[in-house]
Amino acid sequence: MRVIDLRSDTVTLPTPEMRRAMAEAEVGDDVYGEDPTVNALERRAAELMGKEAALFVASGTMANLTALLTHCQRGDEAIVGSQAHILHYEVAGAAGLGGIQLRTAHNDARGRLNPDEVAELIRDARDVHEPRTALVCLENTHNRCGGAALSAQDTDAVAEVAHAAGCAVHIDGARIFNAAIARGTSARELVRSADSVGFCLSKGLAAPVGSLLCGNAEFIARARKVRKMLGGGMRQAGVLAAAGLVALDTMIDRLTEDHRTAKRLATGLARISGIEIDPAAVETNIVIFSVRGGDVPAMLQRLKTLGVLAGSPGPGRVRMVTHWGITEADIDEALARVEHVMRVAVPS
């Protein structure tokens, strides 16, 4: 029985072209700035994001933490969304390693922040009682909000408020290329008003390891030192960067396939008794649905025994993510197995 792994797009495997590129990569010591393949990847990433420079790091979490530590000082505050990956899934690194306090603004169902609320949350740094608000963080696409894609205007509105108050803006753009395709624009356009952005190579782009943090040259120079402090100096990292270059050249446009299979999945789930989902709300490759009156952990375990792997972002909710290697036939088979489980779990 074929296992259909819909837990995340982090389970993707590198393509044959990536494996060849890794085997043949020209390398040097990246901590000394001497790895030509890493340097080429960083130039390419900066170009794609419309920023001056970029830094190759091990993961999306490291990209976000490096950004936080570079933008903020100990005792500063950063505003993040109430459903932000930085808040929920990054082991409180900002507080634990940076002494940075996180303050939450409400994410609406589409992952957006209200600029008026952000303005109200920014502290008055002149007040001796209050911390300095140094940073506002956005997320695009938004993981816990069903892979929703922010528009350039959504980001611009928050950035205008933040910049007027002297705050920097960082985008957790782990899946920024998914957002660009969904919005029919470029990643560069979506991050035009941000001071920094991080994006992942190891999710829908299918590279085995790595993320890029992008910003102006002065910011990236400081971030490079933070990366070293975090243990992220990876020496002959061109072996990994080579796969990233292939990913940027060959895997961005094919993300439309993942969006198509996600829509197919959502449409099929909506027809299954006991499942609540609005297929029209699925914009990218993340599908989150609710189960009426069901035991989600037990459901996930039964699905696992039938060869379908999924996750749960919270009580009563299931998350499935489409990615490289998942076909329309896989989606149809997964739906058949989900329907079988739901008939047992939630009899009509």
CATH number for 92 = 3.40.640.10
Residue 320 belongs to domain with CATH number: 3.90.1150.10
Give the residue ranges of the chain where pLDDT is below 70.
Answer: 345-348
* Domain final residue pick, 218, 250, 282: 250
Residue 3 forms part of a structural domain: no
pLDDT at 293: 82
177 and 261, same domain (yes or no):
no
221 and 191, same domain (yes or no):
yes
CA atoms within 13 Å, Cβ hemisphere of 306: 20
For 272, residues 6+ apart whose C-beta sits below 8 A from its C-beta are 335, 338, 339, 342
* Domains contained in the chain, number: 2
pLDDT, tens digit, 9 for 90 and up, residues 119-163: 999 999 899 999 999 999 999 999 999 999 999 999 999 999 999
DSSP 8-state class, residue 313: E
- Residues facing 171 on adjacent strands: 138, 197
217 and 292, same domain (yes or no):
no
Query: Does residue 319 contact residue 288 with C-beta atoms inside 8 Å?
Result: yes
pTM of the model: 0.96
205: nearest Cα among 250, 170, 163, 251: 251
* Domain final residue pick, 250, 270, 287: 250
The domain of 277 spans 254-345
How far is residue 215 from each of residues 94, 139, 199, measured CA to CA in Å? 19, 16, 12
* Domain final residue pick, 203, 233, 250: 250
